[in-house]
């Protein structure tokens, strides 16, 4: 029995020490990480609205040019000048969550810009979903009735070319965009109607 | 029920964890020298993967409710190691013949990436408990299929073929795996996970 | 004089081992999962290679420090726990202070934790050797991994995308061989690389005929 006790004891000690390290690191870095993520979100939205800023005045510029409204759990960032709306979408990709910002014109249908904030897809294949070049394909397309990411997409406003060699990520991405749009549209219509 | 069947089909074919996601390669390459070993390893993996996924699920729910999900990786690893250890002791005591049949495979499974990967996948895709069980069972059966296929081919090749010396042993496994993964690409779009 | 020469020989041998004779990918055939995933682009291979080298050196050093206290049956778990804790801490640190780097490496973190090379070196070397040799071994194994990865990536990126490090090398009309960027391509190029290196170094493996 004694060797088993020693083993359990060792695991407990090791688990405790490593947990302490992780909890400590989390406490130390949590605020900075949140601040970094917030700054990134703001800079992404300001970029979509073509508003210039720099690292020092980003928060004041953001607060004065963008209106923030939360409805049914979804936060909308509205450009005070053009009326364009942005919201954050999130969903499961193939390897991990895909999180990004989508900006729509004030008709809440035409895409102005999509930017990816976080993804863990295969580099070079699914990872292309985060590249500006690929996301440029979405500009001007429409979300209604749904966006389709398929092979050999036509010029139809609802179709975008899939990433070659990355069918799963392309499907997952389309799914994420459409699902998040459905909830966002419901909330947006409730706000206006 | 349909969902369970869909998950089972998907994890064995177009979302095969070895041939589509390329996980669990190290033990696959090492143990596929003959079909008997491959079967033994495969069955042991099915047991462990399904069992650990089912155990990790309520643990993850607990972590989620206390907001400490950054500890999930650490906790998963410890539960996996503990489960394998207990399984070993349990088999040794109550089913000694089975224990001898498994031999050295059980401790090796702790380091098989797919055990951890399956747990990380159910977290990422937000499965229910039933979905997690079906997914983990199906994925491990998919891995079993892959290792037995490779072993069967290797065994036949070792007897009948005159391989270039540089490819003997582990070299040829890569070519076999390449052809197999190419073939499994043909399953794309079959079922959703 | 003799003593100094002996010392010199040891670290040199460890270096040679990790880079050539016991190269983790080609000879020991470890770390394959991650190699296949990232070796489709040269820049990813470099980033991953450096990441793995760093993690192997640091985690092996930690294992080496506590090697006399680990109960024999718990070796594997201990390595996994140390490695994952370390990698998560590094990731948290990067996300807080070097946000852009963290973003770029985000996808690799999971791959580094489950990389068999990190565990392989801990088990094969770190747990039996003092820290200073462990560091050299970690460096050699990591670098051995890196250069093989980069070589494979050069072939794959060239054939699949026509670029190297995002510089267009192939002419515009080059038909992109996309399957080279996917798993099967990785397997084939790696197989050929193993073939070439083993043939050149006459380091053959005897196919064991199991009953």
Q: Residue A22: which of C89, C96, C106 has the nearest Cβ? A: C89
Q: Do C32 and B34 touch (CB under 8 A)?
A: no
- Whether residue B66 is contained in a domain is answered as yes
Average pLDDT over residues A81-102: 90
pLDDT for the residue numbered B177 = 94
Average pLDDT, chain B: 87
Q: Do A120 and C110 touch (CB under 8 A)?
A: yes
pLDDT for the residue numbered C23 = 82
Q: Mind listing the pLDDT tens digit for each residue in B56-87? A: 999 999 988 888 777 888 888 888 888 888 88
- Whether residue A170 is contained in a domain is answered as yes
Q: Mind listing the pLDDT tens digit for each residue in A17-59? A: 888 888 888 888 888 888 988 999 999 999 888 888 888 888 8
Closest-CA residue in chain B for A26?
B70
pLDDT for the residue numbered C154 = 92
pLDDT for the residue numbered C209 = 41
- For the cut 50, the answer to whether the pLDDT of residue C112 exceeds it is yes
pLDDT for the residue numbered A1 = 63
Q: Which of B3-17, B83-97, B178-192, C3-17 has the lowest mean pLDDT?
A: C3-17
Total count of domains within chain B:
1
Structural domain that includes position B118: 2-187
pLDDT for the residue numbered C197 = 81
Average pLDDT over residues A145-174: 89
The answer to whether B46 faces chain C, any CB pair under 8 Å, is no
pLDDT for the residue numbered B136 = 95
Total count of domains within chain A:
1
Instruction: Please tell me the pTM assigned to this model.
Output: 0.83
Q: Residue C210: which of B29, B37, B174 has the nearest Cβ? A: B37
| C71 pLDDT tier (thresholds 50, 70, 90) | confident
| C2 pLDDT tier (thresholds 50, 70, 90) | low
Place of tokens 């490819």: B167
pLDDT for the residue numbered C120 = 84
- Whether residue B108 is contained in a domain is answered as yes
| C1 pLDDT tier (thresholds 50, 70, 90) | low
| 3-class SS string, A120-163 | CCCCCCHHHHHCHHHHHHHCCCECCCCCEEECCCCCCCCEEECC
Q: Do B166 and C196 touch (CB under 8 A)?
A: yes
Q: Do B167 and C191 touch (CB under 8 A)?
A: yes
pLDDT for the residue numbered C211 = 34
- For the cut 90, the answer to whether the pLDDT of residue B147 exceeds it is yes
Q: Do B124 and A97 touch (CB under 8 A)?
A: yes
Q: At A101, give phi and psi (nearest 5°).
A: -120, 130
Tell me which chain C residues have a C-beta less than 8 angstroms from the C-beta of A125: 40, 181-182
Q: Mind listing the pLDDT tens digit for each residue in B171-187? A: 889 999 999 999 998 88
Q: Mind listing the pLDDT tens digit for each residue in B27-48? A: 888 888 889 888 888 988 998 9
User: How many Å apart are CA C85 and CA C62, to the nearest integer?
Assistant: 11
Structural domain that includes position A86: 66-192
Average pLDDT over residues C54-58: 90
Give the C window 115-154 contacts with A, CB below 8 Å: none
- Whether residue B70 is contained in a domain is answered as yes
pLDDT for the residue numbered C207 = 46
Cβ contact A80:A57 at 8 Å? no
* Winning range, highest mean pLDDT, from A2-11, A168-177, B70-79: A168-177
- For the cut 50, the answer to whether the pLDDT of residue C208 exceeds it is no
pLDDT for the residue numbered B16 = 92
- Whether residue B193 is contained in a domain is answered as no
């Amino acid at each position: 029995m004694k060797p088993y006790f020693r083993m359990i004891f060792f695991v407990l000690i090791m688990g405790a020490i490593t947990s302490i390290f992780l909890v400590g690191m989390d406490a130390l870095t949590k605020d900075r990480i949140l601040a970094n993520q917030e700054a990134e979100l703001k800079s992404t939205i300001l970029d979509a609205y073509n508003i210039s800023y720099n690292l020092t005045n980003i928060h004041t510029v953001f607060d004065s040019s963008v209106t923030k409204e939360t409805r049914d759990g979804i936060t909308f960032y509205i450009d005070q000048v053009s009326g364009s709306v942005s919201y954050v979408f999130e969903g499961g990709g193939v390897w991990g969550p895909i999180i990004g910002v989508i900006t729509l014109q004030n008709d809440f249908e035409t895409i102005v810009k999509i930017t990816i904030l976080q993804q863990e897809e295969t580099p070079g294949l699914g990872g292309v979903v985060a590249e500006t070049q690929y996301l440029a394909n979405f500009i001007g397309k429409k979300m209604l009735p749904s966006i389709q990411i398929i092979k050999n997409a036509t010029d139809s406003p609802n179709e975008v070319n899939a990433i070659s060699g990355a069918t799963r990520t392309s499907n997952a991405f389309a799914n994420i965009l459409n699902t998040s749009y459905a909830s966002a549209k419901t909330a947006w219509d409730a706000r206006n109607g | 029920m349909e969902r369970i069947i869909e998950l089972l089909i998907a994890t064995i074919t177009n979302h095969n964890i070895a041939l589509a996601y390329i996980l669990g390669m190290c033990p696959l390459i090492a143990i596929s020298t003959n079909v008997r070993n491959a079967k033994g390893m495969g069955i042991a993996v099915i047991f462990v993967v399904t069992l650990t996924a089912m155990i990790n699920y309520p643990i993850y729910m607990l972590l989620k409710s206390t907001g400490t999900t950054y500890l999930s990786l650490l906790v998963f690893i410890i539960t996996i190691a503990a489960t394998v250890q207990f399984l070993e002791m349990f088999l040794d005591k109550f089913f000694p013949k089975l224990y001898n049949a498994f031999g050295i495979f059980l401790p090796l499974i702790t380091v098989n990436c797919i055990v951890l990967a399956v747990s990380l996948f159910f977290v990422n895709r937000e499965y229910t408990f039933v979905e997690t069980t079906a997914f983990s069972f199906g994925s491990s059966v998919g891995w079993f299929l892959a290792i037995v296929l490779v072993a069967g081919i290797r065994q036949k090749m070792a007897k009948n073929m005159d391989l270039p010396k540089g490819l003997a042993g582990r070299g040829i496994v890569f070519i076999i795996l390449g052809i197999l993964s190419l073939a499994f690409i043909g399953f794309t779009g079959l079922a959703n996970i | 004089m003799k003593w100094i020469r002996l010392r010199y020989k040891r670290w040199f041998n460890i270096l040679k081992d990790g880079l050539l004779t016991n190269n983790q990918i080609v000879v020991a055939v470890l770390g394959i999962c991650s190699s296949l995933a990232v070796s489709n682009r040269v820049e990813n291979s470099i980033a991953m290679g450096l990441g793995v080298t760093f993690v192997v050196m640091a985690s092996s050093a930690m294992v080496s420090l506590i090697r006399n206290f680990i109960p024999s049956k718990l070796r594997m778990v201990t390595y996994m726990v140390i490695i994952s804790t370390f990698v998560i801490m590094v990731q948290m640190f990067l996300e807080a202070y070097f946000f852009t780097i963290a973003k770029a490496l985000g996808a690799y973190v999971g791959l580094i934790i489950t990389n068999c090379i990190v565990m392989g070196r801990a088990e094969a070397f770190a747990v039996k050797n003092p820290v200073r040799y462990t560091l050299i071994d970690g460096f050699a194994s990591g670098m051995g991994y890196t250069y093989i990865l980069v070589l494979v990536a050069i072939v794959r990126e060239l054939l699949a995308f026509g670029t190297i490090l995002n510089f267009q090398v192939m002419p515009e009309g080059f038909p992109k061989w996309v399957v080279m960027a996917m798993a099967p391509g990785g397997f084939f190029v790696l197989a050929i690389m193993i073939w070439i290196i083993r043939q050149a170094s006459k380091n053959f493996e005897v196919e064991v005929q199991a009953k």
